[in-house]
Amino acid sequence: MPELRFHNLTLGYDRHPAVHHLDGAVKDGALTAIVGPNGAGKSTLFKGIVGEIKPLAGAIERNGLDVHDIAYLPQAGDIDRSFPIGVYDLVAMGLWRSKGSLGGFGRKDHDRIEAAIAAVHLTGFEERAIGTLSGGQMQRVLFARLLLQDARLIVLDEPFTAIDAKTSADLLELVQQWHRERRTVIAALHDIDLVKRSFPQTLLLAREPVAWGATRDVLTAENLETARRMCEAFDEHAAACAVAAE
Amino acid sequence: MSVLYAYFIAPFAEFEFMRRALVGSFALALGAPPVGVFLMLRRMSLIGDAMAHAILPGAAIGFLIAGLSVFAMAGGGLIAGFLIAFGAGLIARATPLKEDASLAAFFLISLALGVTIVSVKGSNIDLMNFLFGSVLAIDDPTLFLIASITSASLIVLAVIWRPLVLECVDPGFLRSVSRTGGPAHIAFLALVVMNLVGGFQALGTLLAVGIMMLPAVAARFWARDLSTMIAVAIAGAAISGYAGLLVSYHANLPSGPVIILVAGVLYVLSVLCGPFGGLLWRALPQRHLEA
């Protein structure tokens, strides 16, 4: 049973497509990388998956999953780092789906939060204000929160960009743990070598899907070159798409 | 000892209007500053100002219909405040104008309209009371109104606390896990309007926002976490109320403006001496730490 299925999906802004006629499915428990040049529509696809934007055409089937049950790490989160809140409190918000605005936190919840903070190697940082953290530490905090979300489907938009090697390795270990737990993980990545090493499935996207399948078949020099060429600029005066809608 | 008593306590022990004013100020100090802290943290500090102007025509229409009835003026103020909050939001969504621009337009129109309406029926003294309040003239119904607004405000704040905090820190995450962000934002705007209406009788439309924002902005220099910041803001507002009344009593100055002036003095002191970002600390030659 596929977790996610795209039916002739077109996503975009002001009628301009950023993801064009995407068809296919992400299998339950798959670990999929999405690769493509800047402007290829990776972030747009993620916003579509989590329901932040509605399809211009086609549909996304989520296998009965509520969009709020998808754990989503946006690329440049709009986090206000100057807000006076500590690491512990921000991580604890990962329990939102079970706690809501009013649910109390008990001993067991406290243990889960501490465990999540320990899993990203931030024990001892609980009371630190988020404004005092480095970029890598902040990403660890966000991963701890993702851990607590305990989601079946996890969507990561460039999780390892601007992060040092040690942090990337630690966080990648968490991603692989999710994969072992049979969760479905989709991540947008630029590091081709990392994808080849750690992600069994790849979707190569250049607005339109270039290739989708086993990583070694998708990430060929030929496909990557095709993707680069296909990512032409946004055309203000583009004509209406002639491909028939279903 | 008796000198201290005469200076600091006797005015309140002797005069009932001073006691009422003090209780009213304390109630305002409990309700408005927490809202002010959130306004500041959401970079909406000036929104309070705009909303304060916006409630004037509503209160004035209440005055026009029912005379100096507390509840008519408060009701009118609440209705006008809500209308303008949502009107500005609506225009921001439907046109290219940003919310702050449409609020600016709305509040200027409201202020002009309010002053015109008050002048039609009332005297210049009424107008002064509308704009700057009359904290020494607080009667039982007014006290009851302020206390109710403060209680309601604290309860609502407790209920929307988590979504409100999360909407400030990480609105994208809140959207991804729940739909409470929108309703929490609306409830928060309602809190702003309510607390301004509460402060309107005591401090007037122009100064009510002072007891909301000045202690909140000052508190930023004394605390790093949200709860402490709010506690400091409440304490600062209460001190301003007490000290302001005392100074105005002894120096025979108008009470409302003096309360806000005391809050202003506390703000300046905080900017200078506050342990988190105060200017004096920066001026001191300090060696950097080892780690």
pLDDT in tens, B252-271: 999 999 999 999 999 999 99
- Residue A233: pLDDT above 60? no
Contact state of A72 with B176 under an 8 Å Cβ cutoff: yes
- Residue A241: pLDDT above 80? no
Which residues from B are below 8 Å from A139, CB to CB?
A: none
B172 Cβ contact partners less than 8 Å away, ≥ 6 residues apart:
A74, A77, A78, A79
Which of A213-217, B54-58, B146-150, B190-194 is the least confident region? B54-58
What confidence category does residue A232 fall into, taking pLDDT thresholds of 50, 70 and 90?
low
Any domain includes B291 = no
**A171-199 burial code (b ≥16 CB/10 A, e <16):** bbebbeebbeeebbbbbbbeeeebbeebb
Positive/negative CA dihedral, B230, B236, B237, B238: positive
d(CA B227, CA B215): 14
pLDDT digits (tens, 9 = 90+) for A7-39: 999 999 888 888 989 999 999 999 999 999 888
- Residue A235: pLDDT above 70? no
pLDDT given for residue A237 in this prediction: 66
How many helices and strands in chain A, by DSSP H and E? 9, 9
Choose from A50, A69, A81, A93 for mutation: most chain B CBs within 10 A.
A93
Number of domains observed in the structure of chain B: 1
Which residues from A are below 8 Å from B173, CB to CB?
A: 77, 79, 93, 145
Contact state of A70 with B176 under an 8 Å Cβ cutoff: yes
Question: Contact A157/A43 with Cβ under 8 angstroms?
Answer: yes
Among the four given CATH numbers 3.20.20.140, 3.10.450.50, 3.40.50.300, 3.40.1350.10, the one describing domain A1-65+155-164+183-246: 3.40.50.300
Q: Which domain holds residue B79?
A: 2-278
What is the residue-wise DSSP string for B212-252? HHHHHHHHTTT-SSHHHHHHHHHHHHHHHHHHHHHHHHHHT
Choose from A72, A101, A132 for mutation: most chain B CBs within 10 A.
A101
pLDDT digits (tens, 9 = 90+) for B195-220: 999 998 889 888 999 999 999 999 99
Nearest to A68 among B162, B176, B224 (CB): B176
Residues written for chain B: 291
Contact state of B175 with A52 under an 8 Å Cβ cutoff: yes
Q: In chain B, which residue's Cα lies nearest the Cα of A97?
A: B177
d(CA A174, CA A168): 10
Tell me how far the alpha carbon of residue B34 is from its chain's centroid: 9
pLDDT digits (tens, 9 = 90+) for A134-157: 999 999 999 999 999 999 999 999
Please report, for the domain that includes residue B260, its CATH number. 1.10.3470.10
Average pLDDT on B234-256 reads 96
Any domain includes B284 = no
Query: How far does A85 lie from chain B, in Å, by closest CA?
Result: 6
d(CA A159, CA B10): 65
Contact state of B180 with A101 under an 8 Å Cβ cutoff: yes
Query: How far does B203 lie from chain A, in Å, by closest CA?
Result: 30
Contact state of A101 with B171 under an 8 Å Cβ cutoff: no
d(CA B89, CA B98): 9
Average pLDDT on B112-134 reads 83
Longest dimension (CA), chain A: 60
Q: In this predicted model, which residue has the larger pLDDT, A39 or B99?
A: A39
pLDDT digits (tens, 9 = 90+) for B113-122: 988 888 887 7
Contact state of B169 with A79 under an 8 Å Cβ cutoff: yes
Choose from B169, B180, B232 for mutation: most chain A CBs within 10 A.
B169
- Residue A244: pLDDT above 60? no
In sequence order, the β-bridge partners of residue A29 are none
Q: In chain A, which residue's Cα lies nearest the Cα of B40?
A: A83
Average pLDDT of chain B to the nearest whole number: 90
pLDDT given for residue A246 in this prediction: 47
Helices (H), B170-180: 171-177
- Reported for B230-233, long-range contacts at CB under 8 A and 24+ positions apart, including other chains, are B230/B33, B230/B34, B230/B37, B233/B33, B233/B34, B233/B36, B233/B37
A21 Cβ contact partners less than 8 Å away, ≥ 6 residues apart:
A8, A9, A10, A58, A208, A209, A243
Contact state of B166 with A72 under an 8 Å Cβ cutoff: no
Contact state of A102 with B162 under an 8 Å Cβ cutoff: yes
Residues of chain A with pLDDT > 90, as a percent, come to: 71
Query: How far does B193 lie from chain A, in Å, by closest CA?
Result: 23
Domain boundaries defined on chain A:
1-65+155-164+183-246
Nearest-10 Cα torsion for A23, A26, A31, A36: 20
Q: In chain B, which residue's Cα lies nearest the Cα of A76?
A: B172
d(CA B205, CA A22): 57
pLDDT given for residue A1 in this prediction: 54
Chain A contact present for B159, CB below 8 A: yes
Nearest to A50 among B162, B163, B176 (CB): B176
Residue B199, both tokens: 């402060």
Average pLDDT on B177-184 reads 88
Chain A contact present for B19, CB below 8 A: no
Residue B34, both tokens: 């927490």
d(CA A201, CA A31): 6
Any domain includes B124 = yes
At CB < 8 Å, which residues of chain A contact B? 50, 52, 67-68, 70-72, 74, 77-80, 83-86, 90, 93, 96-97, 100-102, 129-130, 145, 149
pLDDT given for residue B49 in this prediction: 86
Any domain includes B285 = no
Nearest to B177 among A78, A86, A97 (CB): A97
A242 Cβ contact partners less than 8 Å away, ≥ 6 residues apart:
none
Three-state DSSP class for A102?
Answer: coil
Which of A113-117, B73-77, B153-157 is the least confident region? B73-77
**β A31-35/A184-188 pair status:** parallel
Helices (H), B42-139: 45-66, 70-94, 99-121, 124-132
Question: Contact A125/A117 with Cβ under 8 angstroms?
Answer: yes
Any domain includes B96 = yes
d(CA A21, CA A6): 9
Q: In chain A, which residue's Cα lies nearest the Cα of B177?
A: A68
Chain A contact present for B178, CB below 8 A: yes
Nearest to B171 among A72, A78, A100 (CB): A78
